[in-house]
Structure 1
Amino acid sequence: MGKLYELRLYVAGKTSKSVIALENLKKICEEHLKGKYSIEVIDLLVKPQLAEGDQIFAIPTLVKKVPEPVRKIIGDLSNVEKVLVGLDIRPKLVS
């Protein structure tokens, strides 16, 4: 079995950007990491103290905890290529 990806998505309530980010993340994971990922959604309106641990300054922010290195991607995750590179699923293409 390949690597297991532990992902955390930090949001602030059910804003349209947060909802879109989660939908995009689920789509990307199902397509590229099927059966090899877990997503934990952390609502900072409910648990603001959790922002400090992962040093969250903007939302939505996706944090890849495992496998290392830890990576962060800010935004609604609509740029699939950026997300794949950011999660180390796809190597960065050199232009």
Structure 2
Amino acid sequence: MVEQEHYELRLYVAGKTQKSTTALNNLRKYCEEHLMGKYTLEVIDLLVNPQLAEGDQILAIPTLVKKVPDPVRKIIGDLSNKEKVLVGLDIRPKV
């Protein structure tokens, strides 16, 4: 069996807006379902740390950035489209 890679995810939000909260809840649900114990999630609030947006070239909020494994990917929005998120993160659903 091939060892599954560890995912490093960053979710950029701007305060506790409905869209940001929905994105975080959706992401946590997908990660628990498909990446149990195989991910780290960092939530960055750009209202608190606006300078951090530049490093990942964040242009819209909320934005999810998959840092590891390569390639780096970005998904913008509230992450409510599960299929789009899993494809964007290159996660194959368990059969």
Q: TM-score, normalised by structure 1?
A: 0.93
CA displacement 1:6-47 (0-9 Å, x = unmatched): 000000000010000000000000000001001100000000
Shift in Å, 1:2: 1.3
Shift in Å, 1:90: 2.7
Separation of aligned partners in 2, 1:82 and 1:24: 12
Q: How does 1:1-95 map to 2 (within 5 A)?
A: 1-90=3-92
CA RMSD of aligned residues (A): 1.1
Which runs of structure 1 show a deviation greater than 3 angstroms over 4 or more consecutive aligned residues?
Answer: none
Contiguous gaps of at least 5 residues in structure 1: none
Aligned residues: 91
Separation of aligned partners in 1, 2:61 and 2:40: 19
SS of residue matched to 1:53: coil
SS of residue matched to 1:49: helix
Separation of aligned partners in 1, 2:92 and 2:74: 15
Q: TM-score, normalised by structure 2?
A: 0.93
